[in-house]
Amino acid sequence: MTVVSADEYGFRAPFRALSDRIAECMLRDRHRLRTRLRHLEQRAAHHPPHPPAESEDLAAAVRRLAEEVDRSAAFRAERQANLPKPTFPDDLPVVQRRQEIARAIAENQVIVLSGETGSGKTTQLPKICLELGRGVSGMIGHTQPRRIAARSVAMRIAQELQTPLGHAVGYKVRFSDHTRPETYVKLMTDGILLAESQHDRFLEAYDTILIDEAHERSLNIDFLLGYLKQLLPKRPDLKLIITSATIDPQRFSKHFGDCPMIEVSGRTYPVEVRYRPLTAGTEDEEDLEMGEGILAAVDELWRHGPGDVLIFLSGEREIRETAEALRKHHPPGVEILPLYARLSAEEQMRVFHRHGKPRIVLATNVAETSLTVPGIKYVIDPGYARLSRYSARTKVQRLPVERVSQASADQRKGRCGRVSEGVCVRLYSEEDYQSRPKYTDPEILRTNLASVILQMKYLRLGTVQDFPFVEPPDYRSIRDGYATLHELGAIDERNELTPLGNQLARLPVDPRIARMILAAREEGCLDEVLVIASALSVQDPRERPMDKQAEADEAHRKFREPNSDFLAFLRLWDFYHGQAKHLSTSKLRKLCQANFLSFVRMREWHDIHNQLKEVMGEMGLYRAGGTPGEPPGQAEAPRPAARDESNARNERPQSPRRPGRRRRPRRSGHRSGPPSAQASGSVPSGALPTTSPAESPGR
């Protein structure tokens, strides 16, 4: 465009023209360009007539601004011209309702779309958005609860749009960003979007946001739903689509001011369910039976016909052991693939690679939703998952292995009906299935409020009592949460996060246990406290059956420490690990039995200990051999791996605000600050107690 000097035609004309042109720029540039324009206009308005030098200077600045406006507008025009033209497979329910869905999106700022599995929500909605011309001024942001889903969905949509992955359709997960400026649809984990909200407070990289699988209700999703609710009035141009399985979609609609709700039917191929319950036994016996049940189920399925098998297990150790048992049991031609959250991207993606051999995939619940793995014809579901859960009684956050809900079991089953019919073997009875809770509790109801508050502070989401949660926690737990954080020194008297709190927020364990660990590092007893802290995160491995209490007490006497229950854990640890060095698994199991110890819980203890060491290592606070790294406060590391496979907390890539760093200044006008800035740090003094009776982290 031509730029006129501020003096030539009256100083306002070029500013008006530029202002109009900014409306054609990329969303992410508009605010910045408008602010610059306003400043220049003020300069021009305040002191006319200008001395020649000042006038020239101003004209040059206006010219530079105009060039930048032109660049952004040209880029947007190019995006408009290159907008992909999607085609739709006509057999998916979402496609059959395409016109209606498109109209609802066009006419409303928010819609909720619920539908059963396989209806086409994940793969078709972004294309419907493209068809509506969304994705031009900003990208279509599309969130998934897990990395593997983000990547594989991006792959599928790119394929359907016939573009190479990373161009029109890209994805971003922790440590790797496969998007480019030309990207229209960006898949990411919900943790990534939450992390982005830290530096893009208005989410201006996007003109449309799709929160997929909202029914999973991880803390990340609940945080996003609250954040977006605050953001929508400030971003009237932003469209939001919430998709959910048919699990109480009304709740989401109500959260967003009774927004329209569309329900679509599912489309899966028939899946036959076979119930093959394991004989009930003790926890340890069942562990044995489980392996046998799995082998029998694989045999049964392969007698039925060829096809790949997907088996759901509760953790990495179970995966390793099942893999070992399967290798012994089957001829070497079978390919056995593990799939869990901590595997690298490449390792995870191997399940999608073509292969000629019969394949068995051993997965945690990362494979439960959103995935379509074409060769999978069979699912074996033992019915368990490891879920993070806070016990109000013991006041500790733990990771028990629990029976999964009916909704989870159905999602698992659904993984084998995506591209052809399948068979799902459940290693429990139909009555057991019927007696299970319908849905998994939302993470916020399973989490210590102190930990929720800590994370909200870390993410600058404002105060928990002012935040628009889909299901707000009760006031008493909030008060207790604040009290705990004060007690731990995680927040100061103004309820602001302290540097210590910043570190606690990054440890994925109960804040009290995290505090013990950090203190131990200062006191030079990290190795010992890591053992004790991990013991406190599992159920007590010492067993005391009703009919053998005296015998059990006698067996446990050797671990006792007269002055400390905590030191008793160390004794027990040393005893077990001393033996584990030279005993086979079955001998170790027998040793545990003889000493009234649960073998399963001993191993859980060991696993959690390993994970804590790893996270401390990532934070630069622990080195193998127990030598601590640099003192706290100096290390800066990515977020630790979350241990609960069902939450993507580990996807939030970095500390959003380091202690001492200044916040971005508030914006003026109606967009007065980030969505939650008004709410932040404003707990009324006196409303919440700042101290509480010291509670020892007992069990």
Ligand X SMILES: Nc1ncnc2c1ncn2[C@@H]1O[C@H](COP(=O)(O)OP(=O)(O)OP(=O)(O)O)[C@@H](O)[C@H]1O
For binding to ligand X (CB under 6 A), which residues are involved? 92, 115, 117-124, 156, 245, 369-370, 372, 374, 414, 418-419
CB of 75 to Mg ion, least distance (A): 31
Q: How far apart are the first and last CA of the chain?
A: 71
Q: Provide the minimum distance between the beta carbon of 192 and Mg ion in the complex, in angstroms, as a whole number.
A: 18
Residue-wise burial string across 415-435, b where 16 or more C-beta atoms lie within 10 A, e elsewhere:
bbbbeeebbbbbbbeeebbee
Q: At its nearest, how many Å lie between ligand X and the CB of residue 262?
A: 13
Query: Which pair of structure tokens corresponds to residue 677?
Result: 């800035």
Nearest residue to Mg ion, using CB?
Answer: 122
Angle, CA of 618, 623 and 627, to the nearest 5°: 140
* 8 Å CB contact between 51 and 162: no
Closest approach of Cβ 302 to ligand X, in Å? 23
Task: Decide: residue 344, CB within 10 A, 0-12 exposed, 13-18 middle, 19+ buried.
Answer: exposed
Binding partner of 419, given ligand X, Mg ion, none, CB within 5-8 angstroms per partner class: ligand X
Integer CA distances (angstroms), 296 to 132, 280, 282, 338, 365, in order: 51, 16, 20, 19, 22
Q: Pick what 511 binds: ligand X, Mg ion, none; C-beta below 5 to 8 Å, kind-dependent.
A: none
Binding-site residue total for Mg ion (CB under 5 A)?
Answer: 3
Rank residues 122 and 364 by Cβ distance to ligand X and give the closer one.
122
The pairing of strands 308-312 and 359-363 is parallel
> Whole-angstrom Cα distance, residue 520 to residue 186?
42
Residue closer to Mg ion by CB (options 122, 451) is: 122
Q: Find the binder of Mg ion among 122, 268, 405, 595 (CB under 5 A).
A: 122
Nearest distance from residue 135's CB to ligand X, in Å?
18
Which one, 121 or 146, has the nearer CB to Mg ion? 121
> Which residue's CB is nearer to ligand X, number 146 or number 643?
146
Helices (H) and strands (E) in the chain, counts: 25, 18
> Which pair of tokens denotes residue 235?
């971003």
Interatomic CA distance for residues 32 and 41, integer angstroms: 14
Q: Which is nearer to ligand X, 115 or 674 (CB)?
A: 115
Q: Structure tokens of 697?
A: 């982290």
Q: Is 144 in the site for Mg ion (CB under 5 A)?
A: no
Minimum CB separation from Mg ion for residue 453, in Å? 31
Binder of residue 372, out of ligand X, Mg ion, none (CB less than 5 to 8 A by kind): ligand X
Reference 610, options 168, 241, 187, 315; nearest CA is 315
Minimum separation from the CB atom of position 146 to Mg ion (A): 12
Q: Which does 451 bind (CB under 5 to 8 A by kind): Mg ion, ligand X, none?
A: none
- Contact track, Mg ion, 167-186, x by CB under 5 A: --------------------
Distances (CA, A) of 573 to 107, 401, 439, 560, 609: 62, 21, 37, 12, 11
* Amino acid identity, position 224: L
Question: Of 293 and 375, which has the nearer Cβ to ligand X?
Answer: 375
Q: Least Å distance between CB 63 and ligand X?
A: 49
Nearer to ligand X, 62 or 94 (CB): 94
Judged by beta carbon distances under 5 to 8 A according to partner kind, the member of ligand X, Mg ion, none in contact with residue 455 is none
Work out the burial of residue 669: count CB atoms within 10 Å of its CB; fewer than 13 is exposed, 13-18 middle, 19 or more buried: exposed
**Closest CB to ligand X among 140 and 597?**
140
CA dihedral defined by 424, 425, 431, 432, rounded to 10 degrees?
A: -100
Q: Phi, psi at residue 381, to the nearest 5°?
A: -120, 100
Nearest distance from residue 414's CB to ligand X, in Å? 6
Segment contacting Mg ion by CB under 5 A, of 12-20, 367-375, 434-442, 682-690 = 367-375
Distance CA 503, CA 593 (A): 39
Part of the chain binding Mg ion (CB under 5 A), chosen from 51-59, 119-127, 457-465, 591-599:
119-127
Q: Which is nearer to ligand X, 216 or 443 (CB)?
A: 216
Taking phi over 0 as left and psi of -120 to 50 as alpha, with beta for the rest, 29 belongs to: alpha
Q: Residue 485 and residue 515: Cα distance in Å, rounded?
A: 10
Amino acid code (one letter) for 521: R
281: partner contacted, choices Mg ion, ligand X, none (Cβ within 5-8 A by kind):
none
Q: How far is the CB of 348 from ligand X (least distance, A)?
A: 14
Q: In what helix (H) or strand (E) does residue 262 lie, and over which residues does it extend?
A: strand 261-264
Measured distance CA(163)–CA(444) in Å, rounded: 39
The one-letter amino acid code at 352 reads F
374 binds, among ligand X, Mg ion, none (CB under 5 to 8 A by kind): ligand X
Minimal distance, residue 64 CB to ligand X, in Å: 46
Q: How many residues does the chain have?
A: 699
The smaller minimum CB distance to ligand X, of residues 422 and 640, is found at: 422
Q: Is 370 in the site for Mg ion (CB under 5 A)?
A: yes
Which among Mg ion, ligand X, none contacts residue 650 (Cβ within 5 to 8 A by kind)? Answer: none
If the CB atoms of residues 312 and 458 are measured against Mg ion, the closer one turns out to be 312
- Shortest Cβ 325–ligand X spacing (Å): 30
Rounded to an integer, what distance in angstroms lies between the CA atom of residue 357 and that of residue 338?
15
Locate 600 and state its tokens: 């399963």
d(C-alpha 667, C-alpha 207), whole Å: 20
Q: State in angstroms the smallest separation of the CB of 597 from ligand X.
A: 41
Is 114 an interacting residue with respect to Mg ion (CB under 5 A)? no
Between 121 and 515, CB nearer to Mg ion: 121
Residue 647 touches which member of Mg ion, ligand X, none, C-beta under 5-8 Å by kind: none
Task: Between 105 and 488, name the residue whose CB sits nearer to Mg ion.
Answer: 105
Distance CA(297)–CA(322), nearest Å, equals 13
Interaction site with Mg ion (CB under 5 A): 121-122, 370
